[in-house]
Amino acid sequence: MKAAWGVAYKVACGVCLVWLAVVLGVAVHYGWRALVADTFVIPSDSMSPTLLPGDKVRVDKTVFGARLYTSLDFTEGRMESIRTRGCRGLRYNDIVVFNYPVNDKGRIGFKMNYVYVKRVAALPGDTISFVHSRPVNSHYEGVLGLPEAQQRLEETPDSLIPWYAMRNILVETAVLGYTIKDIPPVYVPRQGDILRMDDWRKAEIYRRAIEWETGRALAWDGARGQCLSDGRPLPYYRFRKNYYFVCGDMAYGSKDSRYWGFVPEEYIVGVVDRVVESHHPLTGRERRERRGLNLTNNE
């Protein structure tokens, strides 16, 4: 009898150890993905030739800090989170993964599994413009993105580019003559900075950010020449959040901040540091030459 109990006890202990190992393994796996690093597969060529469709990239969350949800209620595009302390802030030319910030209603809204990957062109507080298809940053004199791709865009006749691909975040492009090749200086909002809302262009450029922060509709009263928030005059606005301006390396074919505006800091997932593996999206052939490709030396 004692022998039978001994065998049963050993079996029970073995089962418990197996379950404990499984639970710990799952906890470590998801804990690592949430706090340290995760992987994403590149679906398009907007970051080509730096990143190719079929590349599986590692996203380091320790650089900028891991984003942790404080609520799982994502209805109406809401997202509540905190961020752990990171090693550093984002830098120019960092390649970042982020949640696409614009919802189906044309407003800033969170989508859980809808992520983009682009290169940082401007940080909070910067002023960025585009001259002959090249980004020009008020606080950075180095090269942003890939000059070769930007030159190809500049040399492409406007008549060969579809009208919708020439349009930028300044909606009245036909009136102003602006295109993605030439965009006047645009200030990138920084938390605490105050912006004078004295121009209809500002009302349009910052509408999504201000409406997202306040929950109130923003409009420009042309007759009175003033900005309105839910019908009330808004002569100045103090931003509550930080934002980033991001661009794809394929200057011609990338849908990025030139089209849909700024990325809220809360929407940043992490910094891409390497290609883990790569397979051709059509043939499935492994591209071994891209395995382990380092992407951190971008500045």
Q: Looking at the annotation, which residues are catalytic?
A: 46, 118
Q: Is 288 exposed, middle or buried (0-12, 13-18, 19+ CB in 10 A)?
A: exposed
Distance set, CA 75 to CA 72, 83, 109, 110 (Å): 9, 21, 10, 9
Q: Determine the 3-state secondary structure of 90 from DSSP.
A: coil
- Write the CB contacts of 199 (distance below 8 Å, at least 6 apart in sequence): none
Compute the C-alpha angle 287/293/298, nearest 5°: 135
Nearest CA to 219 out of 197, 238, 191, 241 is that of 197
How far is Cα of residue 51 from the mean position of the Cα atoms in its chain? 15
The DSSP code for 235 is S
Nearest CA to 169 out of 138, 139, 207 is that of 207
Q: Are strands 95-99 and 268-278 parallel, antiparallel or unpaired?
A: antiparallel
C-alpha to C-alpha distance for 33 and 66, rounded to whole angstroms: 9
245's tokens: 């301006």
272's tokens: 């891409």
Amino acid at 272: V
The DSSP code for 265 is G
CB 207 within 8 A of CB 165: no
CB count within 10 Å of CB 188 equals 26
